[in-house]
Structure 1
C-alpha cells in the first residue's frame, strides 16, 4: 500500500511503500538505519541484513545522502521515535542517486546555508519552521472565513505609497512611475466599504537598508479592514486572531515544536485577552528600566520593545502613540489631539512588533487636512479621499507580519529562516 510518512499511524503492522529521500544513514554492520523524509515528515527505517535479499541490502548500503528511493517496509509503533513510529525495511528501490550533496550533518556557516537555501529547506529544523508557517496560513484563512470576512486581493503595483515613505521599490509602468506595494491597506479600506469585513494576504516590499534579525525586504502581510468597527473592537479581534493561530500550532504542529525544542509553556499561555498599556505608560516603564534617553514623542526601537515585553508573559498592546510619529490616516483620540487611536502588538521573548493597527479617519474634512499636512498628492489619492465622501463610516484595521509571527511562535532566531527564499539587503539568490 502506498502512503506517506505523515499517514503511517493509520497502517501499524501493515506493509507500506513510501517515496522518500535519504536524509542520513548509519550502519552497525548487520543493521542499517535509514533516516527517511518525504516532505510530510521524517521516519527511521531499519533494515536487518538476514531479513532482506542481498540485492536490497546492497542497494541500501550504497545509498548516499539525499538519494531518492522507494522504500517498502512494515510500520511499527516505537515510543523511542520522535514520531512514535519506525519502519522495518523490506526493500529499497533507487530512483536517483545524489552525488556530493553539499549540506552534510556537520556545522555550516550561515552564508553557506543561505547560498544553498534551495537545499537547506530540506533539513529537519527548517522543515519544521516552514511547516509551522503553513499552519499559521491555514489557521488565518480558517479564522477569517469563520468570522465573516471576505478575502480581497489588493494590487502589488501601485502609483503611491500607503505610508507616505520613501522606502519604495520604483519601476516603470509603461510611461508612468509605479511602485511595489508596501501595504494593501488603502485598497482594503475601499473593499471594506463594499464588503463590510475583508482581509488580504499577500507580499509587501520595503526598500529599507536594514540588516536586523527582524527585517526582510520582501515579506507577507495579513491585513484585515472592518467597517462599523471602532478601535476597541479591533483590538479584541486582533487578540482573538493571534490566540487562534497560537493554539492551532500547539494542536497541529506538536512534532515540529518538539523538533525545534520550543518551550510550550510560553505558547500555552497565549490566550485572549492581552494586556494593554498606553504609550505614556510605556515611556514611564522604559525610564524605570534605565532608558533615560527616551523622550515622549520618539518611536520605539527593538531594545525598547523587548524591554517592555519582558514585563508580560503574553503579547502586549501599546496604545495611543503620538500623532506625529504615526501614519496620516489614523484617527485622533477624541480626548487628546496629540495621540491617535492606534496600537502595536508586541510579541513576548524579544520578537518585537507583530501587528500595527488603528482606527482610520472617517471625516472628509479632517482627511483633506491631513493631505495638506503631509504634502500628499490629491491627484494620486483622490479615490482614497472619496471613501470619506460617499457613505463614510467608522472603520478600523490592522496588519500582521507573517514572518515575525512565525519567528516568535517557532522560536527562530532570525526571520530569514521563516520564509522559503528570503530577500535581504545583500541577498537576491537563490
Structure 2
C-alpha cells in the first residue's frame, strides 16, 4: 500500500511504501536509523541488519543526504517519537542519489542559508514554519467565509498609491505611469460598496530601504473592508480574527510548534477582547518607560512598539493617532480633528505591528479637501472620490501582514523565514 507520512496512523502494524528523501541518518554495526521526509512530515525508518537483505542494509548504510527513495516497511507506534510512529524498514529502492548536498547537519551562516533557500526549505524547522503559514492561510479563508465576507482580488499594477508614492516600485504601463501595489485597500473600498463585506489576500510591495527583522520588500496582506461598519466594530472583527487564527494553529499544528520550541502557553492567552490604549496614553507610557525624547506627533518605531507591548500579555490596540502621520483616507475623530479613527494592533513579545486599520472618510467634501492637502492627482484618484459621490456610507477596514503574524505565532526572530522566497533589500536570489 502506497501512502504518505502524515497518514501512517491509518496503517499501524501494516506494510506500506512511501516516497521519501533522506534528511539525515545514523547507524551502528547492525542497525541504521534513517530520518525520512516526504513533504507531509518526518518519520524515522529503522533498518535492522538481521531483518533485511544484504543489499538493503548496504543501501541504508551508503545512501546520502537528500537522496530520493521508495521505502517499504511496517508502521509501528513509538511513544519516544515526537511524531508517535516509526517505520520498520524492509526494503529500499533508490530513485536518485544526491551527491555533495550543501546544507549539512553542521551550523551554517544566515547568508549561506539564504543563498540556498531553495534547499533550506527542506529542513525540519523551515518545514514547520511553512506548515503553520499554510494553517493561518486556511484559517483566514475559513474565518471570512464564516463571517459572510466575499473574496475579491485587487490589481497588482495600479495607477495610484494608497499611502503616497515614496515607497512604491515604479514601472511603465505601456505609455502610462504605473506602480506595484502597496495595498489593495482603495479597490477593496469600491468592492465593499458593491458586496458589503469583502477581503483580499495577495502580494504587496514596499520600496522601503529597511533592513530590520520586521520588513520585507514583497509580502502578503489580508485586507478586509466593510460597509456600514464603525471603527469600533472593525476592532471587534480584528480581535476575533486574530484569536481564530491562533486557535487554529494551536488545534492543528502542535507538532510544528514543538519543532520550533514555541511556548503554547503564551499563545493560549490570546483571547478577545484585546486591550486598547490611545496614542496619547501610549506617549505617556513610553515616557514612563524611559523614552523621554518621544514627542506627540511622532510615529512609533520598533523599540517603542516593543516597550508598549511589554505592558500586556495579549496584542494591544493603539488607537487615535495624529492625523498628520496617517494616511489621507482616515476618518477624523468627531471630538478631535487632530486625530483619526484608526488603530495599530501590536503583537506581544516584540513582534511589532501586525494590523493597521481605520474608519475611512465617507464625506465627499472632506475627501476633496484631503486630496488638495496631499496633492493627489484628480485624474488618477477620480474613481476613488466617486465612491463618496454615489451612495457613500460609513465604512472601515484593516490590513494584516501575513509574514509578521507568522513570525509572531511561530516565535521566529526574522520575517525572512516566514515566506518561501523572501525579497529583501539586498536579496533577489533565489
- Residue in 1 aligned with 2:2? 2
Q: What CA deviation, in whole Å up to 9, does each residue of 1:67-100 have, x standing for no partner?
A: 0000001111111001011110010000000000
Aligned residue runs from structure 1 range 17-96, under 5 A: 17-96=17-96
Q: Is 1:226 matched with 2:226?
A: yes
- Residue in 2 aligned with 1:13? 13
- Residue in 1 aligned with 2:256? 256
- The alignment partner of 1:92 has SS state of strand
- Residue in 1 aligned with 2:247? 247
Q: Is 1:418 matched with 2:418?
A: yes
- Higher alpha-carbon deviation: 161-170 or 85-94: 161-170
- The alignment partner of 2:199 has SS state of strand
Aligned residue runs from structure 1 range 13-412, under 5 A: 13-412=13-412
- The alignment partner of 1:259 has SS state of helix
- The alignment partner of 2:245 has SS state of helix
Alpha-carbon separation, structure 1, partners of 2:13 and 2:165: 61
Alpha-carbon separation, structure 1, partners of 2:144 and 2:29: 55
Could you tell me how far 1:10 is from its partner in structure 2?
1.2
- The alignment partner of 1:354 has SS state of strand
Alpha-carbon separation, structure 1, partners of 2:64 and 2:329: 58
- The alignment partner of 2:353 has SS state of strand
Alpha-carbon separation, structure 2, partners of 1:302 and 1:130: 25
For structure 2, list consecutive stretches of 5 or more residues without a partner in the other structure.
Answer: none
Alpha-carbon separation, structure 2, partners of 1:333 and 1:171: 37
- The alignment partner of 2:246 has SS state of helix
Alpha-carbon separation, structure 1, partners of 2:51 and 2:316: 59
Instruction: Give runs of ≥4 in structure 1 deviating > 6 Å.
Output: none
Q: What CA deviation, in whole Å up to 9, does each residue of 1:182-215 have, x standing for no partner?
A: 0000000000000000000000000010000000
Could you tell me how far 1:58 is from its partner in structure 2?
1.5
Q: What CA deviation, in whole Å up to 9, does each residue of 1:241-296 have, x standing for no partner?
A: 00000000000000000000001100000011100000000000000000000011
- The alignment partner of 2:128 has SS state of helix
Alpha-carbon separation, structure 2, partners of 1:405 and 1:2: 36
Alpha-carbon separation, structure 2, partners of 1:26 and 1:293: 57
Could you tell me how far 1:164 is from its partner in structure 2?
1.3
TM-score normalised by structure 2 residue count = 1.00
User: What's the Cα RMSD here?
Assistant: 0.5
User: How many residues in Structure 1 have an aligned counterpart in Structure 2?
Assistant: 430
- The alignment partner of 1:349 has SS state of coil
Alpha-carbon separation, structure 2, partners of 1:236 and 1:57: 60
Alpha-carbon separation, structure 1, partners of 2:137 and 2:56: 41
Q: What CA deviation, in whole Å up to 9, does each residue of 1:353-381 have, x standing for no partner?
A: 00000000000000000000111011110
Could you tell me how far 1:310 is from its partner in structure 2?
0.2
Could you tell me how far 1:165 is from its partner in structure 2?
3.4
For structure 1, list consecutive stretches of 5 or more residues without a partner in the other structure.
Answer: none
Alpha-carbon separation, structure 2, partners of 1:363 and 1:161: 20
Alpha-carbon separation, structure 1, partners of 2:397 and 2:172: 30
- The alignment partner of 1:211 has SS state of coil
Alpha-carbon separation, structure 1, partners of 2:120 and 2:102: 10
Q: What CA deviation, in whole Å up to 9, does each residue of 1:281-321 have, x standing for no partner?
A: 00000000000000111100000000000000000000000
Alpha-carbon separation, structure 1, partners of 2:165 and 2:309: 28
Q: What CA deviation, in whole Å up to 9, does each residue of 1:124-152 have, x standing for no partner?
A: 00110111000000000000011100000
